Every structure is written in structure tokens, then in C-alpha cells.
Copies of this chain bind each other. A is one copy, B any other.
Amino acid sequence: MKRKLRMGMVGGGRGAFIGSVHRIAAGLDGTIELVCGAFSSDPERSRASGADLLLPENRVYGDYREMFEREAALPADEKMDFVAIVTPNDQHYRPSKLALEAGFPVMCDKPLCLDMEQAKDLEATVETTGLLFGLTHNYTGYPMVKEARQRVRAGELGKIRRVVAEYPQGWLATRLESTGQKQATWRADPKRSGATCCVGDIGTHAANLTEYVTGLPIEEISAELSTFVDGRLLDDDASVLLRLGEGARGVLWASQIAIDEENGLNLRVYGEKGSLEWHQEEPNTLLLKWPDRPRELVRTGGNYARLSPEALGATRLPAGHPEGYLEGFANLYRSFAAALVDGGEPDCPTVHDGVRGMAFIEATVSSSNENAKWTKIRA
């Protein structure tokens, strides 16, 4: 690239977790720099956060509307090239839509928004504007997830029969939202989080990962959502039976009350010819299983003739130098930035993945409300 891309940010002020992740991820490869932001709905807080980030005062805005307007008015060689939206769920739709309408490509945190109506509207806006829209289902950025997908695509596992997707966490095993902890508070609040807590926050990651790796759509589900913590308003646990394309079957479960599970997203895929297994907490290994030869531990950075270009391209270091969450997240930004500059489709989840995620959320809630009735995913 000839120059660094200039990024603006909505949300991610003091006390936020994911804002800092986005900033590190975007900056990791030296091709994107943060130039402006509306870091909080509270203008004071926004300004303080901008100062923390060493931004010039005139590029720190009191709200995102102001930012889009004023950035749009800046000279082409100065204004931001795209905007990252890293607010709670209820603040994804409007800034995304306005940004697109103001001509700015968007990298948005997941889930896409609060309901299917918003989702479809954003999808239409992306289509109309023709602008890039990335969604940070970041776990697809890991090299070994890409390798898994390529193995399935290449037919090495044969026709897929069964999947098991899990996403256990334990941090909401008590009523953390009543202590004022910021991350818990908005996630457990229906107004800010939407119709679900557990499914929206982590279940959609597991569903997205399943579809990304298998290439099969989740077509129909039967879900039981639970709320184990007294006084909580949304689900903190979900069990889901899956029917996928081409007759594949599966189970997906996610939980926020599984004590001392940290961030245990993992996926197992079983096909007619072989199986694979991947765990987010040890992301640099992909386990392949075969009927007629020993299990293989495929490793990031290994010099195997058979490692896919997609996996190799998502790696920065030689084998044995562990890359983690930030590097995987950065792969989405790198791919998004490359597509902004060079055109083409980024290897990064899009608004369509976001629509599918909203459909997954709505179907699980609806199914659970009807005693786990089989419910189609309509997206």
C-alpha cells in the first residue's frame, strides 16, 4: 500500500474492552492508523478517551453524527477512509447506516443489530451504496480456522454428517450485571443487548464458525434457552439442535454460567472420510482424524506442503511462535484494508453474515419460547 488507511471509531472509550481490541487489531500490521473518533455517547468521555489515545482534539467528536458530517467535509487526503463501530449491540444499526450513507465503509462489531428489520435494512443499504461492510466475527480470522474451511472445501472430509459447536464461558455465573461491571451490564440489558444475551453475544460466533468451516447453512433449529442466574432478564445458556444443509446434523451449545470456562469456543466436524477439531483457546493447532491413518496435528506456520495459502497468508510468525486472539482479529482488518485499497472481496465476514446471525438469534428465541419447536432459519 502507498499510505496508511485512516480509521475513525464509534465507541470504544474508557472502560470498554472491545474498542481497544479493535485498535490493536487494526494497527497491528502498520497499514491502518486511527485518526478520529466518537468514543462515547457522553461528549466529555469521548474527549477524554481521544486524549488518552493521543488524537488531536479536533478529530475527537462528541457524537458519531457530528463525526460523519465533519469527516465527510475534510479533504480527501485527510478524512477517514472507513469507520469501526465498536459500541454495544443497540448502537450498531444507526451509526452503521449513517456511515454508509455518508460514504464511509464500515467495520462493525457483532451481532449486526437488534432485529431482522434493522438487519435487512442495513443489507439493503450496503447494496445500494456499494460500500464495504465488515463484521467482526473475528474467530474466522484464525489461520487454523481457515485451514479447516479449506480442508472441507477440498473434500478431504467427504460429505459432512455431523457437527458439534460449543462456546462455554463462565464469567456470568453470578449476577455480575448488578455490580455495575460495564461489560455485564449492557449485555444483560434487553434494551441494549436485544432479545438475547448468551445467544447474541457468543452463540452467533459459534453458528458463524460452523457455517464458515462447513460451508453448510444452518437451516432449522430446536433451541432451549435458560436463565440460571436469579433476577437476570435474558438467557445465560443455550442448547440447540441443528439441521444443516445436505442432511448434516449437529449440536450447538453456549453458556455464560459454565464456571471457569474462559472463552471455550470450539468446533468438531465429522464427515464421511474424516473429522476435524479446533479449539479457540489453543488456536494454532488443527486436529485431523482419519479412518485409516494416525491423527494429524496440523500447526500454524508448519512448513507442510499441504497447508493452504489461506492459512499461510493469515500467519505472521514461524511455527511455534504462538499467535492469538489479536492476530486473528487483525487478519480481518488486514483483509478489509486490502480490499478497500485494491478492490475485490475481503476474506472477512460481511453484512450477509450479520443477517444470518440475526436470523439465528430470532429463530432460537422463538423456538425456545415454543418448547424447542423446530424453527427454520430464514435469512
Chain A residues within CB distance 8 Å of chain B: 1-4, 17, 20-21, 23-24, 27-30, 34, 53-54, 161-162, 164, 166, 169-171, 173-174, 222, 224, 226, 228, 237, 239, 241, 249-251, 253, 255, 257-264, 268, 270-275, 280-284, 288-299, 301-306, 316-327, 371-372, 374
Contact: B270 with A258, CB < 8 Å? yes
Supposing A54-B1, A372-B374 touch, asked if A290 and B260 sit within 8 A by C-beta, the answer is: yes
Give CA–CA (A241, B258) in the complex, Å. 17
Contact: A54 with B30, CB < 8 Å? yes
Closest 4 CB pairs of A and B: A262-B320, A263-B320, A260-B289, A322-B324
Contact: B320 with A323, CB < 8 Å? no
Give CA–CA (A166, B277) in the complex, Å. 15
Interfacial chain B residues near A318, Cβ < 8 Å: 17, 171, 262-263
Contact: A170 with B289, CB < 8 Å? yes
13 A-B interface contacts by CB (under 8 A): A20-B316, A21-B317, A170-B275, A255-B270, A259-B290, A260-B275, A261-B275, A262-B301, A292-B305, A293-B304, A321-B325, A323-B326, A326-B327
Select the residue from A21, A224, A270, A306 with max chain B CB neighbours within 10 A: A270
Contact: B226 with A249, CB < 8 Å? yes
Contact: A249 with B259, CB < 8 Å? no
Q: Helix, strand, loop or mixed for chain A's interface? A: loop
Closest Cβ–Cβ distance, residue A140 to chain B (whole Å): 15
Interfacial chain B residues near A319, Cβ < 8 Å: 262-263
Select the residue from A4, A241, A284 with max chain B CB neighbours within 10 A: A241
Supposing A275-B259, A291-B170, A321-B263 touch, asked if A162 and B237 sit within 8 A by C-beta, the answer is: yes
Contact: A262 with B54, CB < 8 Å? no
Interfacial chain B residues near A371, Cβ < 8 Å: 374
Give CA–CA (A276, B296) in the complex, Å. 14
Give CA–CA (A173, B283) in the complex, Å. 26
Give CA–CA (A306, B28) in the complex, Å. 32
Contact: A303 with B299, CB < 8 Å? no
Supposing A28-B24, A54-B3, A173-B291 touch, asked if A322 and B239 sit within 8 A by C-beta, the answer is: no
Closest Cβ–Cβ distance, residue A202 to chain B (whole Å): 11
* From B23, B228, B303, B316, contact of A161 by CB (8 A): B228
Interfacial chain B residues near A294, Cβ < 8 Å: 288, 296-299, 302, 304
* From B20, B275, B322, contact of A325 by CB (8 A): B322
Interfacial chain B residues near A280, Cβ < 8 Å: 320, 322
Contact: B54 with A241, CB < 8 Å? no
